[in-house]
Structure 1
Amino acid sequence: MATSVELGQARYRQVSATVRVIVQRIQQLWQDLSPASIEDDLVGPAGAAMLAAVTEGQLTVADAAQAYIAAQMAAQGGTALAEATLVAGAFAGIAPDGGPLETLLFLPAIGVRSRLAGGMTPEEAMIGGLADMARYASTALADTARSADQVGMAANRNCVAYVRVVQLPACSRCIVLSGQMYSYSEGFDRHPNCDCQTLPLRQHEWPGVPTPKQLFESMSMAEQRRVFTVDGARAIGEGADVMQVVNARRGMDTAHVFGRDVKATHEGATKRGLYGRSRLRAAGKGDFEKTAGLRFGQATSRRYGRTTTPRLMPEEIFRIADDRAEQLKLLRRYGYIV
């Protein structure tokens, strides 16, 4: 049987491979876009295809979460049986800040237009826009995987905590948190493009996860200087505490990563939304034709596709719920488990 750390490495590879496939698909689609029509392109078939690709990736990483948690609990001598089933579709179509994924994936168009206004050439502006799109997509997929893993942990009472696992290359903010242990429901500190992961624990055991000092020592001198600065790397090499050199929380966020304060979503697309018409256009329908939306991952009426009550994100549920029973109640209510 695979060890806990080996299972964590396999989960990391699965999520990373999914991210690579989706980013490659986005790169292929981006080649056909024009800086002169970037807004129309991203609300048309090309944008809808990118949205579909990222959504598919979210479904893939979320669908594997419960099996990963079950395998971890079994490897640690517990039971793989959970008391609720994770709903992968509940994590799809949502951006890391709780807003619609389709709105997030329109932002690169604004970035392209801003770069053009700032004097960049069309080629430079489009390269920057592609970098934005890849970053948003990668962040959304990694965040979906972590969120689904955390819901899977809540659904299995054997799991009581998780350890943060950092894979190199990584930034200094993440490195100083490597090996830190948290309650299973505690928020995960992350930043855009963060690919760190959770390693669930059946009981308070410290697995073979490298410490910040060990990660630092495994880096080349050039990488140490790039991540920690020349002076910081020298200080750490001479014995300074990594945590004291780096402000662990600088630039990190536990519940959102794109500037939103409310951890809730009205997931679904309406024909009146900024980017909501892309699905209709991609399907060859008119802008004002009625469209079905999503409500907690399920189809709604064809008149409107937006819910009237905000849907709490898993991170917000864990923050406000007093115990696991309340967490499971709210996770069921908002469609993350059944």
Structure 2
Amino acid sequence: MTVALAPRAGLEHLDATQVVVRRQVDQVQRAWRGLDPGGLRASFTALVGPVMLAAIAAGQVEAAALATPYVNAVLADEPPDAVPPSISASAFAGFTSAGLPLSSLADLLIVRLLTEIGAGMSTTDAMLAGLRRALTYTATEITDAGRTATHVRLIADTRAAGYERVVKLPACDRCIILAGRLYRYSQGFRRHPRCDCTMMPVTRQQWRESNMDNHPRALFDAMSEHEQNVRFGAGNAAAIRAGADLSQVVNARRGALPVAGRWTTTQGTSSRGLAGTRVGELRKQPGRRYRMSQASRPTAGQVINDFSGGTREELTAALRRYGYLL
């Protein structure tokens, strides 16, 4: 289920960027069909690589060109002190977000493809894996170029105090917990491969206001129970529905590991973390800057399992003790 809970302008910009991405991804997918299993390197070099690089470069220019009208529209209600400069869309094309030439992506693709076949993977499976990587590279680099252009444009506009993260479902749990978060104009944008989240410029007045429609809980509540269970895990989703804080639940999953048959996590268990201060038993450990709790912190899903036969009050108290409820 896809819903539009974030600011309309940000979602419209996200949709426009995705149209660009889909158009170029389709070109790469069509070109991939010309890959010859009997002559992979030659057919890739002649038929696939050039199309992919041209598609990415064209998409980067298109996505970057959306930045100026988008930022202008969002900030239109506040008169500028001076005419903000426009960006050069072509300046954001021809290289990866890491600054490497786009040709490095083609080189990496064919090397990985041939290496996997050499390691024993079937040609069919290796080609499918290669296609997935090609589409990921294409989508990621185009979207990154558009986001970077938007960021540059809002930095150049003194009306923008920063930006708000816009997240549209379906999205990963890491992005959902960042929905609606405000960042200063100078802060970088956190993203992952194929991340299609975007940023919406905010004025100083908007910075002081709260957009109640664009926050993690609103996105979680807009998902069906099945979608919640798939995205967060059944136990963690149940904990969130019981009132657990989304950020605490999701962050705890990063350091999760089984201990004596129970899932525990080290996330948030330092003297700076909410769980660490509540659970206590803090001690200094070699190589650690902050004291760490010696008590294990169960994941939110494990807490649910541990108290499955208890009362709501007991479950709530346990979730609060381990830092999942604020």
Q: Do they superpose with TM above 0.5?
A: yes
Task: State the match for 1:241 in structure 2.
Answer: 245
C-alpha distance after superposition, 1:83-124 (max 9, x if no partner): 322111110011122211121233222232233234332222
Distance 1:42 1:80, change over 3 A: farther
Q: Write the distance in 1 (CA, Å) between the matches of 2:134 and 2:253.
A: 25
Distance 1:249 1:181, change over 3 A: farther
Q: After superposition, what is the alpha-carbon deviation per residue over 1:228-280, rounded to whole angstroms, capped at 9, x for unaligned?
A: 112211111111100001129969xxxxxxxxxxxxxxxxxxxxxxxxxxxxx
- Aligned pairs (5 A) from 1:142-291: 142-203=143-204, 204=207, 205-207=209-211, 209-247=213-251
Distance 2:129 2:165 in 1: 31
SS of 1:227's equivalent? Answer: helix
TM-fit CA distance, 1:154: 1.1
Is contact 1:158–1:202 with CA below 8 Å preserved after alignment? Answer: yes
State the partner residue of 1:14: 16
Give the superposed CA RMSD: 2.2
Q: What is aligned with 1:325?
A: none
181-190 vs 27-36, greater mean Cα deviation? 27-36
2:7–2:214 contact (8 Å) kept in structure 1: no
Report if aligned partners of 1:78, 1:202 keep a CA contact under 8 Å in 2: no
Residue 80 and residue 62 in structure 1: after superposition, are their counterparts in 2 closer, same or farther (change >3 A)? farther
SS in 2 for 1:44: helix
Alignment partner of 1:62 out of 52, 61, 64: 64
Q: Which runs of 5+ in 1 are unaligned?
A: 252-338
- Please tell me whether Structure 1 or Structure 2 has the larger radius of gyration of its CA atoms: 2
Which residue in 1 is equivalent to 2:46?
44
Q: Aligned partners of 1:180 and 1:123: how far apart in 2?
A: 43
Is 1:133 paired with 2:134?
A: yes
**Counterpart of 1:309?**
none
- How many equivalent residue pairs? 247
Cα contact 2:140–2:193 (8 A) shared by 1: yes
* Cα offsets for 1:14-53 (capped at 9, x unmatched): 1000111111110100000124433333433431122111
Name the structure, 1 or 2, with higher relative contact order (CA <8 Å, separation 6+): 1
User: What percent identity do the matched residue pairs reach?
Assistant: 37
Q: Quick check: 1:82–1:157 contact (8 Å CA) kept in 2? A: no
Normalising by structure 1, we get a TM-score of 0.68
The alignment's TM-score, normalised by the length of structure 2, stands at 0.71
Residues 51 and 81 from structure 1, CA distance in 2 versus in 1: closer, same or farther, beyond 3 angstroms? farther
C-alpha distance in 2, partners of 1:160/1:50? 37
Q: Which amino acid aligns with 2:198?
A: Q
Other structure's SS at 1:247 match: helix
Letter in 1 for 2:188: G
